[in-house]
Structure 1
C-alpha cells in the first residue's frame, strides 16, 4: 500500500498531542483520571427510557434529514422564543461535531481563513483543514478574554468565519455580554460569518449565558445534548441560523450523516423536558471546591463555566508538568493540545468527589517541586 494514496489534507491533521499523553499513561496502575471531557453522571433515566421505547416501537429507520417533526417543533419553538428572528431555522445534527463540520464545510472555500481564539477546542483546527481553510489564531492569554481590537486586526479579505466558544473548552471562560455584543456587531460590520459553539451553555456559574446571536441574526449556533444530559455517545445535536445557510447544511447532511439516529432523537425530545438543574448545581459546587483547594497555589484564570480548569504550570512547560503528574498517577491534558503555547494544563472536574480529592492531593504535592 502506497502512502501516495493518502490525501494531502490528512498530513495537516496532527493527532500526536493526545497520542503522546495516552502513550505516557499506558502504564498507569491506578490512574486518577481528570482528563475526561464529558459529564461523570449517567444519562437521565427518562431519556434512556425514551430511547428504549423508540427502539422497541420500531423507530430504527432513517428519519427525515432535518430531524423528526416533534423534536424539530420543540426546538424551533425554544429558539423562536429566545431570539424572535423571523428567518432563524433549526435542524437536528449528528452531534455538535457533526454540526460544526457541516457549518464549516458549507461556509469555507479552500484558502479561506477562520478566526479562532487560542486556546481553542481541538476539533476547530482540523475541521477547518478538512474544509480547505486555514485557522487564524487570536491569543487570549493570560485571562482568556476576547480582545475586539485583535479580532479587527486579524480580519483580512480571506476571512470567512469567526468561531466563538463560550463557555469555553478548555479554559472554562464565559465571555461577557460586552465581548459577545462587540464580536457580533464586528462580524456583521465586516460581513464575516459568526459560528457560536454553545454546547456548554447550561454550565455558567458566575454570570448568565449570553449568545452573540442576540445582536447578529446571521449567527450560526451549534448546540446539543451531549454535555447537558450526558449523551456524548448518543450523538445528538442541533444547529440554527439564517434559513439560506441552514438549508445548505441540511443538503450536505443528506449526503454525509444522512440524519441523526432516529431513536436518539426521541430520547432528545424527552431530554428537553428533563430538569438538569441539580447536575449544574453539582458542577458549580465542584468548581468552587477546586478553586478553594488550588486557587492559592496555582494561577487559574477563566473557570466560570463548563467543567474545566485551565491551569498555568507552576514550573517547567505544561507538557513537562503533565508528564510528572502522570508519573504520580494523575491523568490530565497538557495545554499545547489546545494551544500554540505549552504553559498550561487542563483539569476536568467532571468526576466523583473522592477522585477530585485524590487529584488535588497530587497537584498540591507537585506545586512544591518547583
Structure 2
C-alpha cells in the first residue's frame, strides 16, 4: 500500500535519542538525561489534587472544543498578571499541547503550497508539521551576532505567507527584546505575512522576562503550553490566542480534528495556574542549574555558546571536535552515559557541528552529567 509524499517527514531526532537512552537504561546503565526539554519536577501538587478530586466527583467527558470556560478565563487572567494585557477568554482555544496549536494555526492560516518562514536553528517539528500539511518550510539561517534570533533583514527578500518565531528560543534559549519583536511584527504586517509567536518557554527567564506578541499586536497567533513552566509535559495541554475574527475558523477545525483537549488535563491545568509558590521554586532549580552549566560546561571543553536568557538549554558549537554531531552524541551516550541532542535536529545544515544540552532535570543530575562530560572530553584528548 502506498503512502503519501507529505507523510515522509524527517524523524524528530531528540525522540530517537531518548529511545537510545531508554534502551541503555533497560540494559542496566545509569544515564544522565540532558537531551530532552522535560522538567524533572512533576505537575504541581495542587494540579494533581484537583484532578484526583474531580475523578471522584464523576465522569470526565467531552468539553467544548475551545476548552473549559473557567480554564480560558484563568489563562486570560495570566496575561493580565504576567504582561498587563487584557485578553478576552473568547479568543483563547485550549489545545492538546502546543503541537495541536501548530496544526490548528498552520491549517487555519495557510493553503497547500504556501511558504512559511522559520529561523534556523529552531524547533524541528515546525518544519515537519508544515511539510505534512503540504506547506513549504522556508528555513533561513540566523546569526550568532543576532543571538540566533530572526531580524527583518533575514526575511526581506523571501516570498512568505507566514513567519513563526520563538522567544525564548529552542535550542538557543535567547530572547527577543521588545524592540526586536516589534520590528519583526511590523515587518510582517507591512508584507501581509501572518505572524505566529511560539511562547511555550515564557515564565522561564533569568533576567528580563520575554515579551508576548500580544503586548504589541492583536493581529497575531500566539501558542503556549503548560508543558514547560508548569511542568506538565505528559499531560498534553496547551492553548492558543487568535484574532477575534479567526476564533470560529479555529474552533471548527478543533471540533473536527480533536473534539477537545483532554478534560482531565484541563482540570489539572486550571489548578496549576494557582500554584505560584511551587512553580517559583522550580525556577530556582533551573537558575541554579543554569549557573552550574555556565561555570562547568566550559571546563569540559564546550566554550562556544550564547548564554541563554530563558528556557533550559545551551546550544554549543562543537565544530572543533566534530563535523558529525549525531555520531558525537552517540559516542557521548555510549562512553559517558550522558544523553545529549545533536544540532541536526534544529538546523539541517550547520547543526552537524552543534549540540544542545538541556538542564531541566534536578541539580544533582546536572552536576553528575557535567562531571561525566568533563571526564569523557579528557579521555578523548580535547581538554
TM beyond 0.5: yes
Q: Is the 8 A contact 1:144 1:302 kept in 2?
A: no
Structure 2 counterpart of 1:14: 10
Segments of structure 1 that go 5 or more residues without pairing to the other structure are none
How many Å separate the matches in 2 of 1:319 and 1:277? 35
Q: Is the 8 A contact 2:203 2:229 kept in 1?
A: yes
Structure 2 counterpart of 1:92: 94
Shift of 1:219: 1.0
> Matched residue pairs, number?
363
Structure 1 counterpart of 2:330: 323
Structure 2 counterpart of 1:113: 115
How many Å separate the matches in 2 of 1:183 and 1:335? 25
How many Å separate the matches in 1 of 2:343 and 2:52? 39
Deviation per CA, 1:16-72, whole angstroms, max 9, x where unpaired? 744764576444622222112211011111100111112222241101111112112
- Secondary structure, in 3 states, of the residue corresponding to 1:162? strand
User: Residues 195 and 16 (structure 1 numbering): CA distance in 2 closer, same or farther, change over 3 Å?
Assistant: closer
How many Å separate the matches in 1 of 2:179 and 2:298? 26
Structure 2 counterpart of 1:205: 206
How many Å separate the matches in 2 of 1:16 and 1:40? 21
- 1:338 aligned to 346, 350, 354, which one? 346
Shift of 1:269: 1.3
- 2:154 aligned to 135, 150, 153, which one? 150
C-alpha RMSD of the superposition: 2.1
User: Residues 175 and 10 (structure 1 numbering): CA distance in 2 closer, same or farther, change over 3 Å?
Assistant: same
Query: 1:41-190 residue pairs with structure 2 within 5 A?
Result: 41-79=41-79, 82-84=84-86, 89-142=91-144, 143-154=147-158, 156=159, 159-190=160-191
Q: Is the 8 A contact 1:59 1:262 kept in 2?
A: no
Structure 1 counterpart of 2:225: 224
- Secondary structure, in 3 states, of the residue corresponding to 2:355? strand
Q: Is the 8 A contact 1:308 1:347 kept in 2?
A: yes
Structure 1 counterpart of 2:31: 31
More displaced stretch, 88-97 vs 294-303? 294-303
> Normalising by structure 2, what TM-score?
0.89
How many Å separate the matches in 2 of 1:87 and 1:43? 24
How many Å separate the matches in 2 of 1:311 and 1:367? 14
Query: Is residue 289 from structure 1 mapped to residue 292 from structure 2 by the alignment?
Result: yes
Q: Is the 8 A contact 1:196 1:221 kept in 2?
A: yes
More displaced stretch, 345-354 vs 80-89? 80-89
How many Å separate the matches in 2 of 1:187 and 1:360? 41
